[in-house]
Structure 1
């Protein structure tokens, strides 16, 4: 997977010339403002300072994340008390409680799509807004993991998980005896994981840290020199046990965090 940020994004933004259509029904004093099939904003001015409006934003009609993000931003501008389209002020009015509530909803939308756009650039992949909205419930957990790790560059914590056993290899018998004598133990692993977002698959490197693991028993599954495969049976009825994980684009980024001295950093992980 190529993880270099694509410099074509700025060119794509500059090459797109958004056309905002404005229609005015003189008889009904109704205005309709639209951006392709993505945004429709209509209003009727009731008096000098008040108007009634409705709007709809359709991510599934946008062929790029940048376009849906642009539509959300201009719609938020319409709710500010000044409606401006194609560099022309169409109406000014006094903002109401409804305006402020709708503005807040659009702020959340803008924040979400802006994060998707940043991930798109970081992963050097174009996302389909239609695929994102269609798979939102199924892929939301993975989105929040990618946001936390790749954008915020922080680990996340999982408290509610089921673990019966841990399998390790390459350990000597003295190490096994240490497992048996300690009351609880911390483990760190490194692995690859494939994550699906916007119905596309990406391969990442992941560091996992298990904390406060209570060991019930240790079994040797295979003892064929130079390999020793052991199975650690875990007490799953342990409210103190939790898992911290961090996802990385490159394997080299995992080396710094997997050192024992960085376990304290992983302990600070907050739940998603």
Structure 2
């Protein structure tokens, strides 16, 4: 999750605000569905082994319409369910789940708070610095491990992108932000009708949206990984276009055989094959 305090789903939480054993620190990032703050443990451990520092992800439920509340509640439940049931070395760790009880702050009252393992940053912020990480191939291998662990447990991430690849203090990578995650029911899962266009496979753009959301398959994560690898290794996005709408149209033309990928000449040859395989035109391929 990346962004500013002014992002649509951002919650402003004052420094020093207490929730459970935690005191809120500075804002780490904000996205469409919540805000993440640094935090320190302000109370001694009582039962659960808690670290001295953590990241608090606030998922808002205050002052919203009933439909918005239901949607936000479902997103919080998705992320909590994944992190409780899929505990692997390549997924960010969940310590506990709290609920804000503060009627005096209606924008915060009732918010779900995920107490997460603290990361040092994200792949997004690393790439924003302009330097291609030398550890890029190793980080991508760790992202693959995380996807393999997630898929093996029967889940699709649904929103893989640089901002959701978290970098730890030891330089390793973890997958985070599971608001869009979906549990497989056979070959498909059902995800909210929301995605990051540049990392979304073309077939998802015309997928039918039903009462349970959009049908999604693990190949959606494979496509997203192909885009991620091309950006990291290094290169621009593999489909041309200035604004996101133009790139989306290019992806649709590519899926129909009317457009070609524009892979960077700097992409190592063995990675070129991997990226091309990930970015196959059709799910069946």
TM-score higher than 0.5 here? Answer: no
Please give the TM-score of this superposition, normalised by the length of structure 2: 0.23
Rg larger in 1 or in 2?
1
Please give the TM-score of this superposition, normalised by the length of structure 1: 0.24
Judging by fraction of residues, say which structure has more helix.
1
Higher RCO structure, 1 or 2 (CA under 8 Å, sep 6+):
1
